[in-house]
Amino acid sequence: MKGTSSPTSTSSAPSSTPGGLPPFDHEPLGRVIFAPGALAQLGAAVRSVGGTRVLLVTDAGLAHTGHPGRAVGFMREAGLDVAVFDGVRENPTDHEVGNGVSRAREHGADCLVAVGGGSSMDCAKGINFILTNGGRMADYKGHGKAAKPMLPSVGVPTTAGTGSEAQCYALITDERTHLKMACGDKKAAFRVSILDPELTLSQPRSVTAVTGIDALAHAIESFVCTKRNAVSAMYARAAFGYLEPNFETVLTDPQNLTARSAMQIGSHLAGMAIESSMLGVCHSCANPLTAHYGITHGVAIGVMLPHVIRFNAAAVGHLYAELAPTAAGANGRPAAEALAARVRQLTAAAGLPQSLKECGVSDTILPLLAEEANQQWTARFNPRPVTEADIHKLYQAAW
């Protein structure tokens, strides 16, 4: 994700427990089914949450894989009445959400099923907000602003990256301003997530690359952010352990189901880590790059992450060493530097750009990007406090 979680208010809570650990209030969101071939359980999963008239939310580009068609087939075999909305685009806007709401109303949907990448997951959540609570997406920017109950929903990710199926947030772009709005509510979370690694075998190499880097960034940023706690650290550490050793394998051996399974589990656990904590300035830096240049989220993340790790080293170098112990002291380098180098090695192996200049970003726009990135709320949870000037320097280092 892309940085969609919201801080839970802790104004009346102590800053730490007697044992020195930060307090947490953890509420698991829903059921998770993992197995190769688990898509066949979709009909039963929808039945289990009370669905009878289903709107399947997906993107038209996924049709060639056969995944949405198979999902419809399994649901109809279970006696469910299914309609399809395939108008999702990358970085969905409130316009696409509105179109999906119209389709859901036409069908009289009582359940939503998202099949696809993070954009399909986010769009389905956005549809749920407006369909059940009315208004505009901007009304739900932030956390917990849906007053009425929401429809049950099921998430079926076909990529291993955003971990959106593990989070209660929808990241929706404002059609007018092109700014991303993080809209979250526990009621918007998927009641069931179906993780079927066979669905990720169809990912093109480019999608595998950008989603994998995004998932790694989720694990790394959530592990060190100021909202970290025992639960989020556990998820993030486990996520990194699944993702880092298998990323290169899924690039060179894309039909390796064991590696694909590890990436999907790692992505989901990283999403759970975000839901239990937060992200940092890397995601704040990525969003303006997408808004101004259309740079794919994972590409922007991959360019910025090594520089963010180096910036944060003074504050959380010891945590980087804990997250990636094999990196600590590698070739005599501090753990943060070794981790930054490892991220750069992975992005290079994936054939992703290594600089903002390579992405076509002009150095004259860096001050504006820094101003906008500083307004992103994930920056407020970076482990080392950042100012607009600091973010400008990060962009300069990445240029």
Residue 268, phi then psi, degrees to nearest 5: -65, -45
- 64 or 25: which carries more pLDDT confidence? 64
The yes-or-no verdict on residue 284 having pLDDT over 80 is: yes
Percent of the residues in the chain that have a pLDDT greater than 90, as a whole number: 85
DSSP symbols for 330-373: GGG--HHHHHHHHHHHHHHHTT--SSTTTTT--GGGHHHHHHHH
pLDDT bracket for residue 331 (50, 70, 90): low
d(CA 397, CA 385): 18
The yes-or-no verdict on residue 13 having pLDDT over 80 is: no
Domains of the chain in sequence order:
31-201 (3.40.50.1970), 203-398 (1.20.1090.10)
* Per-residue CA distances from 173 to 43, 94, 122, 123 (Å): 31, 6, 10, 10
Lowest mean pLDDT segment, chosen from 3-12, 18-27, 96-105, 144-153: 3-12
**End-to-end alpha carbon distance in the chain:** 24
pLDDT tens, position by position, 30-89: 999 999 999 999 999 999 999 999 999 999 999 999 999 999 999 999 999 999 999 999
Lowest mean pLDDT segment, chosen from 12-16, 148-152, 169-173: 12-16
The yes-or-no verdict on residue 9 having pLDDT over 80 is: no
The yes-or-no verdict on residue 6 having pLDDT over 90 is: no
DSSP-H helix ranges across the chain: 42-48, 67-77, 94-107, 118-133, 205-224, 230-243, 247-252, 257-276, 281-293, 297-323, 335-349, 366-374, 388-398
The yes-or-no verdict on residue 329 having pLDDT over 70 is: no
pLDDT bracket for residue 7 (50, 70, 90): very low
Instruction: Give the per-residue pLDDT at 333.
Output: 77
Percent of the residues in the chain that have a pLDDT greater than 70, as a whole number: 93
Instruction: Give the per-residue pLDDT at 109.
Output: 98
Q: Tell me the pTM.
A: 0.92
Average pLDDT over residues 272-286: 96
Instruction: Give the per-residue pLDDT at 231.
Output: 95
Tokens for 25, please give them. 């209030």
Instruction: Give the per-residue pLDDT at 328.
Output: 54
pLDDT bracket for residue 10 (50, 70, 90): very low
Average pLDDT over residues 158-182: 91
pLDDT tens, position by position, 369-394: 999 999 988 999 999 999 999 999 99
pLDDT, the chain, mean: 92
pLDDT tens, position by position, 79-112: 999 999 999 998 899 999 999 999 999 999 999 9
Tokens for 90, please give them. 């990358």
pLDDT tens, position by position, 228-276: 999 999 999 999 999 999 999 999 999 999 999 999 999 999 999 999 9
